[in-house]
Structure 1
């Protein structure tokens, strides 16, 4: 059991506990309800009902059960390995592939494939995420860096924190963006209304900066290149939605009826970082997947 304690602030007076607690950490409302139902949550030393209304100063104790142990099995999944040496791997992940196992996705992930093809992976992120330094969404394609040992892992993580890595994406977004380039500087946190989404918010958020250039304009869409300064969950998808130009094929942040594509039209095309051992700056490019190339051809014809 992992014990977590939360003190309820005055602003949450008379609000339901299961709605308040997700604002303190990355918990869903349904998860909080399960903890209450199973008796793993106490307020001021006593168990409470699901409809408990908070009082300022309430001391909430959550005994979080150990997560389900998943057996990560190496799988002979074809991978597009762009670069590999004794420290680092760069892989071009296809659209539709989950990066690492989790409940609901125990197999068929990038990690399952990496464990089959690569002998050594760093262990800093535990058995479920060996070697994984950063992630891209299931339905985003493109480049990821993977660490083969802990020293390399720490170096790559520090570079991400220091914002010295180079990460550029191509995206097709709704609407015609009039200006040629811009910077979106807007903090991102969990959406209070929907815990499965992120949102631009000043509450429990982290700074997020995205730079973008318009590559080409079409009748109702724009083709853009984005450069990440930070790396928040769903950052490009959230920021483009925030300025009124959601990524095509992304029903979570944009219209459900959009271009004919499985998942968002978003591709991690450029990845650059300093090699953990040699110090050499290395840069890699991944061409647009065929699906996005065909979409761009269709948009040109429509225009």
Structure 2
């Protein structure tokens, strides 16, 4: 027998409210109620925390609904807890991973003795609002002064799956770098061995120095008399790899005093993680996450 689903207007113009007529899991219910939307669109609405059941946010696809419960869909994403995040924009969220765009100046994670605001700390608080037992796990990091795409796992199992097969899972890591001077070679590959000193500075050697082999590919996007904007692809992901390699070719990243920069017209480090392409840990499908390049990177000569 076909159920008569009732759509009740909410007091807030930006919401839709439905009354559950029979026991059903949340995702199938939403797909039925939002038949005009694509499956991916509905899943995104659920993942972003725009759905509440009897006033409590739920992101679980298999959340079991009971007859008489009220399911509310918030159309206005700005109403969600996501707006409380500082220096972070969520690019994608599902039951396995959270992908964010991190602003420059924000640590991925602090040491045990530090209480500084970090991406990890904020995201942990964010997901615990849905379920206090929820946790997130760091998969990889970005330097404090590097902005861009950053990936976290929602379980230790997913984290280990991603990290153990990182070189297979990650299909592309693309950065945008603003460097000093005019890079003569429009396209090239830098290969060297990187080793960290006791003072935590990474040094590059053209020969094996007992460190880690690092490979960086770059090509010019645009250039002026003073600066060059590069598209950089990592074949390996070593600590400070791009920063060290840019210094190695005589074109340090703008604002990077540690590795040879003498100017900083953009008032930040000129490095941005623009794109991450991976095989999704659950589906195995190729997925792309991108963060727009900061406008300040497109500087003009003075």
Q: Shorter chain as normaliser: what TM range? A: 0.5 to 0.7
Shift of 1:161: 3.4
Shift of 1:170: 0.3
Within the candidate set 214, 220, 226, 2:226 is matched to: 220
CA distance in 1, matches of 2:177, 2:134: 31
Q: Is the 8 A contact 1:143 1:286 kept in 2?
A: yes
CA distance in 2, matches of 1:122, 1:133: 16
CA distance in 1, matches of 2:298, 2:171: 28
Q: Give 1 or 2 for the bigger CA radius of gyration.
A: 2
Within the candidate set 277, 283, 291, 1:278 is matched to: 283
What SS does structure 1 have at the residue aligned with 2:300? helix
Q: Is the 8 A contact 1:122 1:153 kept in 2?
A: no
Matched, 1:206 2:212: yes
What SS does structure 2 have at the residue aligned with 1:252? helix
Q: How does 1:213-252 map to 2 (within 5 A)?
A: 213-252=219-258
Gaps of 5+ in 1: 1-75, 124-129
User: TM-score, length-normalised on structure 1?
Assistant: 0.66
What SS does structure 1 have at the residue aligned with 2:98? strand
Matched, 1:77 2:85: yes
Shift of 1:295: 4.5
Matched, 1:267 2:272: yes
Count residues with an aligned counterpart: 213
Gaps of 5+ in 2: 1-83
More strand by proportion, 1 or 2? 2
Q: Is the 8 A contact 1:139 1:262 kept in 2?
A: no
Note closer, same or farther for the CA distance 1:112–1:164 as it changes in structure 2 (3 Å cut): closer
Q: How does 1:19-58 map to 2 (within 5 A)?
A: none
Matching residue of 2:12: none
User: TM-score, length-normalised on structure 2?
Assistant: 0.66
Note closer, same or farther for the CA distance 1:261–1:148 as it changes in structure 2 (3 Å cut): same
- How well do the aligned residues superpose, as a CA RMSD in angstroms? 2.0
Matching residue of 1:294: 296
Q: Is the 8 A contact 2:127 2:134 kept in 1?
A: no
